[in-house]
Structure 1
Amino acid sequence: MNVKYLLLASIFFCCVANAEEEVTANPVIEVGVVKIEWQNPKDFSDIKTSNELQSRFETRLFETLTNNINKQAEKILKPNQKLEMIVTNFDLAGDMRPTFGATPSDLRVVKDLYPPRATFSYTITENGNVIIAGDEKITDMSFMYNTRRLNNKPFQYETTLFDDWLNKTIAPKL
């Protein structure tokens, strides 16, 4: 009889763990001087989660990255300037690997072979007028070797990817 309950509990757990919530098609997050549209996240190269609902993970990922980009952009942009981005592809650092039954979910393995990547278009406006615009495809091939990343913050590699882009590409143009 205990086996029946154990079997029912494991079936219930699998159903709950694999449940998908409704995901917004193109979430737009605006924080401070930054507005980002995450265009078709279901088509992104790799934003898979290992241990939570995909929709919750995406919401947390997009909000965290937008907040972090805003922190850096506020240091670079002048008053009355705003950064708008449309992210068309994104790839988290690392790669998802199946655990083949060792755990109920996959595992993200972070190696220098799998760098974070992003493809996006951007505009910087000042008082409503576009002053800089462009398309970018960025990758951080040395993400594992940068000493600035010695922290345990979520999405640290991806945050540094965007910080470096802002500092090396945008700041000199302003």
Structure 2
Amino acid sequence: MNVKYALLASVLVAQSAMAADNTDPNPLTEVGVVKVEWQNPKDYRDIKTSTERQSRFEARLFETLTKNINKQAEKSLKPGQTLFLQVTDLDLAGDMRPTFGATPGDLRVVKDLYPPRATFSYTINEGDKVVLSGEEKITDMSFMYNSQRLNDRPFQYETTLFTDWLKKDIEPKISQ
């Protein structure tokens, strides 16, 4: 009789863990002048984690990137302007490699062979008026060689991917 209860309890715990890991299919993050819709993250090329529950990792990733993009957007955009991104694909720097039991999870190997990439559409608004919009596929092939990026910030390469795009592509268009 105790075995039945133990099995039932384990099934209930597994179901509740799976239910807790179900997330919004298109999470939305917003900080300051930036709003980001992360469309179908389960289909992204590589946002895998090796150390924590995938849903928690994604939430941390999306919140961190939105916060960091906002820091640059506040400098790049004119007062009263907002940036809306719809991210359709994201590939973190590096590649996940199996450790075949040497560690509890896989290991992310960061080499210049695996640059960060993103595919998204964007809209810059000033009130209700669209000032600028477009679609982008960005990649940072030199992410390993820029000395300013050598620090321990989370998602530093991906942050730089987006902030460089704002500085190099958006700022000149807005200032025209």
| TM-score computed with the length of structure 2 as normaliser | 0.88
Q: Where do 1:12-27 residues align within 5 Å? A: 20=18, 21-27=21-27
Q: Where do 1:1-174 residues align within 5 Å? A: 20=18, 21-174=21-174
Give 1:150 deviation, angstroms.
Answer: 1.7
Q: What does the per-residue CA deviation read over 1:123-150, in whole Å, with 9 as the maximum and x for residues that have no partner?
A: 0001210010000000000000011102
Partners of 2:30 and 2:51 in 1: how far apart? 27
Give 1:169 deviation, angstroms.
Answer: 0.3
Which one-letter code corresponds to 1:42 in the other structure? K
- Unpaired segments ≥5 residues, structure 1: 1-11
SS in 2 for 1:42: helix
Partners of 2:57 and 2:127 in 1: how far apart? 34
SS in 2 for 1:23: coil
Identity rate, percent = 72
SS in 2 for 1:29: strand
Partners of 1:90 and 1:155 in 2: how far apart? 12
How large is the Cα RMSD of the aligned pairs? 1.4
| TM-score computed with the length of structure 1 as normaliser | 0.89
SS in 2 for 1:75: helix
Q: What does the per-residue CA deviation read over 1:107-136, in whole Å, with 9 as the maximum and x for residues that have no partner?
A: 000000000000000000012100100000
Partners of 1:99 and 1:22 in 2: how far apart? 27
Q: What does the per-residue CA deviation read over 1:61-109, in whole Å, with 9 as the maximum and x for residues that have no partner?
A: 0000000000000011111100000000000000000000101100000
Partners of 1:90 and 1:28 in 2: how far apart? 15
SS in 2 for 1:56: helix
Instruction: Extract structure 1 runs of 4+ deviating beyond 6 A.
Output: none
Partners of 1:110 and 1:139 in 2: how far apart? 15
Q: What does the per-residue CA deviation read over 1:23-79, in whole Å, with 9 as the maximum and x for residues that have no partner?
A: 210001111000000000000000000110000000000000000000000011111
SS in 2 for 1:62: helix
